[in-house]
Structure 1
Amino acid sequence: MWATNNPSKLWTPGRTLTIAFLNGTQEAKDIIIAAASSWLPHINLNFDFVEGHAGDIRIRCDGGAFFSAVGTDALLHDEGATMQLGSHLAERPRFFAANVMHEFGHMLGAKHEQTHPLADIPWDLSTIYESHGLTDDPDEDDELTRSKRDWLHDLYIDCADREDSIYSDYDRKSIMHYFIPQSWTKGDFQNLLNLELSDNDKAFMAKAYPYPV
């Protein structure tokens, strides 16, 4: 697991974070609370889930997208959602819960594990580009294509700078690691979808949010 080497991005240990639901069914809220609370035994923070528009974290449940502000960046948004959790699908509760844990990992300050400073994944760039409608030649890119290529590298391919990061070992079982199909890599490498917090996830956050000695 890894995070940006900026202490101000992490919450102050011992703090209670108010987490407001902007909308959502009661079933979805129950799953969100249970999944998010999976982090609590390992961190010196508390979560206070409330209804309404006032909260350190504000959750909207709709659409298919999942995202979250990273760490204390949530405080830079005066209104609206700081976290979106796509619509809950009753037939896929474990998938929904895993995405909740992932987004709460971002909320705690963690970044995507596939861009870990030590990841060194053997990407097959030609295949990745082709699957996203890109070519191998960046000189052929127009502005929209360059933006898409940059997004792809930021999300998957480019590893974080070691000097600008705090990190534990690269962890393929991390809840912060994306699914990576075999066809996107060279050799025998793929990463399946992780549905639970890994031991490394728990240990990293325990150090980021320690209890007093």
Structure 2
Amino acid sequence: MNGYIEWIDDDLLCFCDEDDVCYCFESDSYDSESSESESESESESESDDSDSYDFDMAEHQRLSQQHSRSSRSKPTSRSHHKSTSQSRQKSSSDGAKAGLAQSNVLWPSERCNLRVRFLNGDKFDQDTVKKCVTEHYNSFPMRLRFKFLEPGDPEHSDIRITFTDESRCLVGRSAEKHRGEPTMWLNMHRDSSMGAEKRRAKRQYDILHEFGHALGMQHEHQHPECKVNWNMQVIQAKYGWSAEKVHDNFDRLTQGVKPAAYDPESIMHYPVDPGDTHSLVTHVPLAAKLSEGDKKFLMAIYPKSTTTVVKPPQKPSRVTTKKPKHDDHMAQRLTAQLVMQYWMENAMMEAMKSEERRLRRAQKEMEMMQYFFAPFVVNQVALVPCYYWY
């Protein structure tokens, strides 16, 4: 089987097959046999949120069973989370990695930004989402970043948010099949009877949880190593779902998933309240932020590129003289004419000054000659001038 192995850090190893289905786990537990993964039939995935999941799982199951009977292929799982191979990492509070993601809904490697547009909502709702996502998802070094578009921005959007009384989201690239339609629904819990602090915590959980689905992440409580013994009757009454829908959204994922550590602190884990399980001691609080396992998992499936593009050395170019254009010729000729005119005017001025000095000198000499050599004229007869010496 063709594939490649990639080290995410010193103790995390990922094996990715030729279909880019990756399995990540601690390096000391790596086994060559773990590089093989089952290939399941692909289908569009949609994930519902903690309080309201309106995705019709019964209809999805019915269509999947019809497809299975008609194609005589491998049976499709009941839950939409089980439709493809899963890539996952370990995660826990002690620094291990964990996570579940469907490879066919992960965003491609050439994508670095996911553009988000609000379809409605006031300034409080939109600013709350921006602040929460920026502080938690755009603050650690994974390749993808969420970019929020301003109203009227003509740029294409990948995620379109509408504010309603429920919270759910299309998983990963499933949003590409719904151009121009909402892909994420958020309940901001503004009219809830809960206290202000509890509303704030629930609001933040919904936002982070749904944006995790937008990145392709699946529910952590469906991890095969999750030991929560759900009381399905209580869950059904709590959420108001059908029995089939409860099983589809709470049953553990087993097909296409390799064993790994389970992270109860993940933002993708449903809170477990007293009475939700058959055990009296099981309790998972509402997550308020991404766990360290969530961050490491996202950095593994969306690693920043470390490839450095080295340009080949360029050959030295020939030294060529750029031929002046027609305008350059005209400028050069005009400059030469101005310089010539300047020097000619200077030469003429110097010549005129020199001639003026010569004439003044000659006039002075003539005056001196008239003074010293003036002849005496007697009866119109010129006499030789006499010189008197004293």
Q: Secondary structure at the match of 1:100?
A: helix
Distance 1:57-1:129 versus aligned 2 partners, 3 A rule: closer
Q: CA deviation at 1:46?
A: 2.1
2:270 to 178, 182, 187: 178
Residue identity matched to 1:12: P
Match among 145, 157, 161 for residue 59 of structure 1: 161
Specify the SS of the correspondent of 2:147.
strand
Deviation track 1:141-166 (CA, whole Å, cap 9, x = no partner) reads xxxxxx8111101222x101252x47
Match of 2:143 among 13, 29, 44: 44
Report matched runs for 1:73-112 at 5 Å: 73-87=174-188, 89=190, 91=196, 92-112=199-219
* Aligned residue runs from structure 1 range 50-199, under 5 A: 50=149, 51=151, 54-62=156-164, 64-87=165-188, 89=190, 91=196, 92-128=199-235, 148-156=242-250, 158-163=251-256, 165=257, 169-187=261-279, 188-199=281-292
| Residues 99, 293 of structure 2: 8 Å contact kept | no
Cα distance in 1 for residues equivalent to 2:114 and 2:267: 21
Q: Deviations over 1:119-176 (max 9, x none)?
A: 132223454456568xxxxxxxxxxxxx8111101222x101252x478521111111
TM-score by length of 1: 0.81
Distance 2:299 2:260 in 1: 12
With over 3 angstroms needed to count, the CA separation of the structure-2 counterparts of 1:131 and 1:58, relative to structure 1, is closer
Partners of 1:57 and 1:107 in 2: CA distance: 8
Q: How many residue pairs align between the two structures?
A: 196
Structure number with the bigger relative contact order (C-alpha 8 A, sep ≥ 6) is 1
Maintained 8 Å contact 2:114/2:158: yes
**Distance between the aligned counterparts of 1:189 and 1:105, measured in 2?**
24
Moved over 6 A (4+): none
Any idea what SS the aligned residue of 1:81 has? coil
Between structure 1 and structure 2, the one with the greater Rg is 2
**Residues 58 and 119 (structure 1 numbering): CA distance in 2 closer, same or farther, change over 3 Å?**
same
- Unaligned runs of 5+ residues in structure 1 are 134-146
Q: d(CA) in 1 for partners of 2:254 and 2:263?
A: 17
Tell me the residue number matched to 2:129.
Answer: 32
The alignment's TM-score, normalised by the length of structure 2, stands at 0.46
- Whichever residue aligns with residue 202 of structure 1, its letter is K
Percent of matched pairs sharing the same residue? 30
My pick for the range that moved more, 118-127 or 65-74, is 118-127
Q: Which secondary structure state, in structure 2, belongs to the residue aligned with residue 17 of structure 1?
A: strand
